[in-house]
Chain A
Amino acid sequence: MSGTPHAQRIAERLIRASCRRLPGELRAERCREWSAELPAILHDETIRPGLIRALRALSYSVGVSTATRRLSRAAGRSRSARAPEWRDGAMHVRPGNLAVRATVGAAAWLLTVFLTVSLLRAFPSHGWAVVISLVSAAAFAVFCLADLARADAVRYLPKWAWALICIAQIPSGGIAYLSVGRVGRARPAPSGHPAQLP
């Protein structure tokens, strides 16, 4: 049970960091609510041993991060019903921006090729290397598809087309989507959008 105070500290820090995403009026209250749940998890006697409780508290605060992302997106949506300009702005790409994104994508692709080759070299019998490659390829494809499914908007192509590309060409299709098609959270937002708040 020596891990409990550590787990609580780390979980509280994670929650505070996630709450920064929320607009000001929600931030303090949500932070207080979620931090108050941690003692209940860390002293939940139905979960044994203590290590599992600590992990549960950590996964709780990771889930809080998902919750704040959804809550701030919902707040942004109700805002965009009144002022749609930041959503329109998201579809607009400056050429310089695109060049940077394409370069990052190409670099990511080279890095994956390099990693795969060194993985195959590192393991004398290729069995494990193949398993690791397949698992990470599947995880990456799933990550790209999940990101695509949750996105409010994508660039250049419809969502289904990006989904096909992500599946057909692992990993280059996914990298292409992430670097070119994805609308990042750092969109040209008017002042007051939750993503812009400290």
Chain B
Amino acid sequence: MRLTGPLERVLRVLTADPSAQHYGYDLMKSARLPSGTLYPMLARLQQEGLVQSEWEAQREDAGGRPPRKYYRLTAEGARVARLELAHASTQARRAAQGIAARPVEEGTR
């Protein structure tokens, strides 16, 4: 799994509360992604077994709203996402330190 910027944002939203149910538009707003990026990504994650989806049960108080499809991380997905996100933030920190502390001789050599 290659952690791209959009994927990282989706995983951050999903791991914030692994038991929470998110529908597509909700994820689009929280991860600030367009629908054309989000849905293929969710489909891929689902295919890899990291995300599961289920249809909302039809409720009486829904006001005639059609049932939505909800997404959340699987147990495996939560584990992988935490690892990947931790890895990404260590790398980002290391890169930031690297830029700050890059020795001058590296350029002259």
A residues lining the B interface (CB < 8 Å)? 32-37, 39-41, 44, 59-67, 70-71, 74
Contacts and interface: CB of A to CB of B under 8 A. Distances in A.
B25 A60 contact: yes
A37 B24 contact: yes
A32 B39 contact: no
Nearest to A68: B39
B36 A66 contact: yes
Interface stretch (B5-13, B60-68, B73-81, B97-105): B60-68
Interface range for B:
10 to 19
Q: Is the interface of A mostly helix, strand, loop or mixed?
A: helix
A44 B38 CA distance: 19
Contact of B66 (A32, A60, A62): A32
A40 B23 contact: yes
Contacts of A61: 35
A65 B35 CA distance: 9
Contact of B39 (A44, A62, A71): A71
25 contacts: A33-B69, A34-B39, A36-B69, A37-B23, A40-B25, A40-B26, A40-B68, A60-B25, A60-B28, A60-B35, A63-B34, A63-B37, A64-B39, A66-B34, A66-B36, A66-B37, A67-B35, A67-B36, A67-B37, A67-B38, A67-B40, A70-B36, A70-B40, A71-B39, A71-B40
